[in-house]
Amino acid sequence: MTGVSADGEVRAAEPDLAPPAGRPRTGRPGSGRPRAGRAGTRRPLAGRLGRAGWLRWIWRQLTSMRTALILLFLLAVASVPGSVLPQEGIDPAAVTQYYQAHPALAPILNRLSLFNVFAAPWFAAIYLLLFTSLAGCVLPRAFRLVGSARQKPPRAPTNLARLPASATYATGLTPDAALDSAAGLLARRRFRLHRGDGWVSAEKGYLREAGNLLFHIALLALLFSVGVGGIWGYKANRLLIVGQAFANTPTDLDVFHPGRLVSPTDLQPFSINLLSFRATYVTSGPQLYQPLTYDAGMRYQARPGSPAKFYMLTVNHPLVVDNVSIYLIGHGYAPIFKVTDGAGKVAWDGPVPFIPVQQMTLTSEGVVKVPDAQPYQLGFAGVFLPSAVDQNGQLQSAFPAPLSPRVSLVAFKGNLGMNSGQPQSVYTLDTKGLKQLPITPRPLSAGQTEKLPGGAGSITYLGYQQWVSLAITYDPGQLPALISGIVALAGLILSFLIRRRRVFVRAAAGPDGGTTVSLGGLARSDAAGGFENEFAELTRLLRAEHDGRAMQARQVADGTADAPEDADDRERGKPSTRPASPVAVAAAATAITAEGDTETAAATVAATTTAAAAAKTATVAETATTTAAAAAANPEMLAGPEEE
């Protein structure tokens, strides 16, 4: 605790160890007695709460700030698996790769909904509890803040020396004049004032609480915006091979995750045709294999019958159609095969997307299913190498670009199980009803054919196409969430930069005929410090203003300076009606006597005195005339004020 003495020295206030007046000392350290509770109150027993009491207790615990912080921490922790593990709504191909790499762990994670975290029931429970906690905490506080923002500062304490910052000094002004001067100075510095008998209270920094409240309301609005996006929005994925097209319908999407209130008719009716795709990579240096550019040229229509438009889709530059964002999130290769069955008919002719298993070199794996082959259904599992090289007798890909593409296949025949009614992944091959054909896998280049033994047919590798993975997102709460985040940041900055502080001034008549001015101040929130300097500056300015006003009052009384009303008359071109002071008359007489003209000095004194008396008489007469005119205009003035 600091203070400023009458000499201007900053001093430390002694700690107040005494209890407030009228309150007994109870529960002192070392007394051996427990602290007494409030008189007339008893803590209710748990069994006496009843149903309403327990509900009230649960609601208070849920809407406390501590519970809100715990739930916010749990929400952040629950979001970590959604960032670490692949998600079905974002990259289903990566989820398939995770199943292949971790066949024992992936089913367990799937049962815990860790591949679809943000749609999991336990995540929704944390989210709803946090929303309820913030709503119950923020909304009542908003009403209290509105009421407190209209309140005046509290009255000044009796003993200002007990405050953390205080100062005392003497001035020649009257107590009322000193308080008027202090109120004017604090008002100019934008303090909110409250005056009483012999004191002035001032407070500043109300925007701190407003910023704190703004942050919580914005956080509540952010959660609400996320909820709006989850209810009325949707997410989808589509793997699209160059030369193919799709329409935004649930049946034409690979993965579709609608919101709770989204129906198939709510989807925007756009369509996209992928025309080309080009990727470039770093060819040397420490960033070898890293992609430089992904460019997907496409033509789209916002709705059937509308004109088609061209767009070059790149990473982080989505295509926006009717408030739906289409992102480019991945790409790979789709080898083109031609399968001829044992009857000599072409049972398959087209590209098959292979999924990358090594992102650095885009080594990809995939399967080809031919359910229409005769006399046996055929299946192939293969590996595609964009830039095949032989390393120690093993074929590997050395670069992600298609410099020397090769494909190696393993053939099966039998029953693919596609007619059993059980759904199957297009990227995996169920070999339970299949028999592997006795052929040695070899790398095939474009145009080469592999004949199948036993008259099962043949397969020809014709080349490759590239495919892209598109993430389709419609989120009506995205813009409100962005605005809420900006407002929350602004509220947080306000609550950090603005300090809530109070200043009190008391003025009382001193023993020597002057006035004793006491100042006190405290900061309700000053973690960063700085209030001591502000209080010292206020004390200096207020003391300087009081000293200046006191000096001006003495000069006016001595006649060495004009009174404020005389200065106003001089500005209007009127002669001053203020009578000359005795000091001024004596000074004029002394100056003339010094020149040796005694008679002139006496005449000057007499003339000056007569003029002053005449001016005073004229002033009194003018005042009486003005008062009489006002009384004639308003006869009620003569009656005087009524007694209350």
User: Does the pLDDT of residue 270 top 80, yes or no?
Assistant: yes
**End-to-end Cα spacing for the chain:** 46
| C-alpha to C-alpha distance for 478 and 494, rounded to whole angstroms | 25
Could you read off the pLDDT of 171-230 as tens digits, one per residue?
Answer: 888 999 999 999 999 999 989 999 999 999 999 888 887 888 888 889 889 989 988 988
User: Does the pLDDT of residue 328 top 50, yes or no?
Assistant: yes
Packed helices 121-149 and 207-232: angle between N→C axes, nearest 10 degrees:
150
Non-local CB neighbours of 637 within 8 Å, separated by 6+ positions:
630, 631
User: Does the pLDDT of residue 390 top 50, yes or no?
Assistant: yes
Phi, psi dihedral angles at 244 (to 5 degrees): -100, 165
Could you read off the pLDDT of 476-516 as tens digits, one per residue?
Answer: 999 999 999 999 999 988 888 888 889 999 999 988 888 99
pLDDT band at 278 (very low <50, low <70, confident <90, very high): very high
Alpha-carbon Rg for the chain in angstroms: 45
Taking a C-beta distance cutoff of 8 angstroms, is the pair 505, 519 a contact? yes
Dihedral sign for Cα atoms in the order 551, 556, 560, 562: positive
Q: Which residue has the higher pLDDT, 91 or 125?
A: 125
Catalogue the long-range contacts made by 99-105 (C-beta closer than 8 Å, 24 or more residues apart).
100/357, 100/365, 100/428
Mean pLDDT of 404-411: 94
| C-alpha to C-alpha distance for 95 and 87, rounded to whole angstroms | 7
Per-residue model confidence (pLDDT) at position 581? 47
Number of other residues whose CB lies within 10 A of the CB of residue 487: 17
Per-residue model confidence (pLDDT) at position 127? 87
Ranges 61-75, 524-538, 576-590: which has the least confidence:
576-590
**DSSP for 573-621, written as a single string:** TPPP-SPPPHHHHHHHHHHHHHTT-HHHHHHHHHHHHHHHHHHHHHHHH
pLDDT band at 353 (very low <50, low <70, confident <90, very high): very high
pLDDT band at 47 (very low <50, low <70, confident <90, very high): low
Closest alpha carbon to 586 in 563, 557, 609: 609
Taking a C-beta distance cutoff of 8 angstroms, is the pair 267, 236 a contact? no
Per-residue model confidence (pLDDT) at position 227? 87
As given in the structure block, the two tokens for residue 26 are 């109870």
Closest alpha carbon to 410 in 365, 455, 465: 365
Catalogue the long-range contacts made by 198-201 (C-beta closer than 8 Å, 24 or more residues apart).
198/506, 198/507, 198/508, 199/155, 199/156, 199/504, 199/505, 199/506, 199/507, 200/156, 200/504, 200/505, 200/506, 201/152, 201/153, 201/154, 201/155, 201/156, 201/502, 201/503, 201/504
CA angle 413, 419, 422 (to 5 degrees): 110
Ranges 52-61, 137-146, 252-261: which has the least confidence:
137-146
Q: Which residue has the higher pLDDT, 132 or 624?
A: 132
User: Does the pLDDT of residue 70 top 80, yes or no?
Assistant: yes
User: Does the pLDDT of residue 616 top 70, yes or no?
Assistant: no
Taking a C-beta distance cutoff of 8 angstroms, is the pair 458, 450 a contact? yes
Catalogue the long-range contacts made by 135-139 (C-beta closer than 8 Å, 24 or more residues apart).
135/220, 136/59, 136/62, 136/63, 137/63, 137/64, 137/65, 137/68, 137/216, 138/213, 138/216, 138/217, 138/220
Mean pLDDT of 83-108: 84
Secondary structure element (H or E) that encloses residue 467, with its range:
strand 457-474
As given in the structure block, the two tokens for residue 604 are 């000057």
Ranges 46-50, 88-92, 363-367, 637-641: which has the least confidence:
637-641
pLDDT band at 13 (very low <50, low <70, confident <90, very high): very low
Taking a C-beta distance cutoff of 8 angstroms, is the pair 503, 522 a contact? no
Ranges 35-49, 184-198, 244-258, 456-470: which has the least confidence:
35-49
> Tokens 């006003």 sit at which residue?
549
Per-residue model confidence (pLDDT) at position 351? 96
Per-residue model confidence (pLDDT) at position 481? 93
User: Does the pLDDT of residue 600 top 90, yes or no?
Assistant: no
Closest alpha carbon to 429 in 484, 477, 341, 370: 370
**DSSP for 402-460, written as a single string:** -SB-EEEEEEEEE---TTSS----TT----TTEEE-S-----B-TT-EEEEGGGTEEEE
| C-alpha to C-alpha distance for 568 and 251, rounded to whole angstroms | 88
Per-residue model confidence (pLDDT) at position 618? 45
User: Does the pLDDT of residue 441 top 80, yes or no?
Assistant: yes
- Amino acid 296 reads A
Mean pLDDT of 28-32: 46
Per-residue model confidence (pLDDT) at position 584? 46
The mean of the pLDDT values for the chain is 80
Mean pLDDT of 525-545: 83
As given in the structure block, the two tokens for residue 185 are 């100075």
pLDDT band at 397 (very low <50, low <70, confident <90, very high): very high
User: Does the pLDDT of residue 6 top 60, yes or no?
Assistant: no
Per-residue model confidence (pLDDT) at position 210? 82
What's the chain's length in residues? Answer: 644
| C-alpha to C-alpha distance for 154 and 504, rounded to whole angstroms | 9
Per-residue model confidence (pLDDT) at position 479? 92
Strand pairing of 165-171 and 515-523?
antiparallel
Per-residue model confidence (pLDDT) at position 623? 43
| C-alpha to C-alpha distance for 259 and 474, rounded to whole angstroms | 10
| C-alpha to C-alpha distance for 324 and 263, rounded to whole angstroms | 16
User: Does the pLDDT of residue 22 top 60, yes or no?
Assistant: no
| C-alpha to C-alpha distance for 614 and 611, rounded to whole angstroms | 5
CA angle 312, 314, 317 (to 5 degrees): 100
Spacing of C-alpha 498 from chain mean position: 17
Taking a C-beta distance cutoff of 8 angstroms, is the pair 126, 113 a contact? no
pLDDT band at 558 (very low <50, low <70, confident <90, very high): low
Mean pLDDT of 592-605: 47
Taking a C-beta distance cutoff of 8 angstroms, is the pair 231, 259 a contact? yes
Q: Is 499 helix (H, G, I), strand (E, B) or coil?
A: coil
Mean pLDDT of 389-415: 91
Q: Is 320 helix (H, G, I), strand (E, B) or coil?
A: strand
What domains can you pick out in the chain, each with its CATH number?
53-151 (no CATH), 155-205+499-558 (3.30.310.80), 228-330+472-479 (no CATH), 337-464 (no CATH), 575-623 (no CATH)
| C-alpha to C-alpha distance for 251 and 230, rounded to whole angstroms | 21
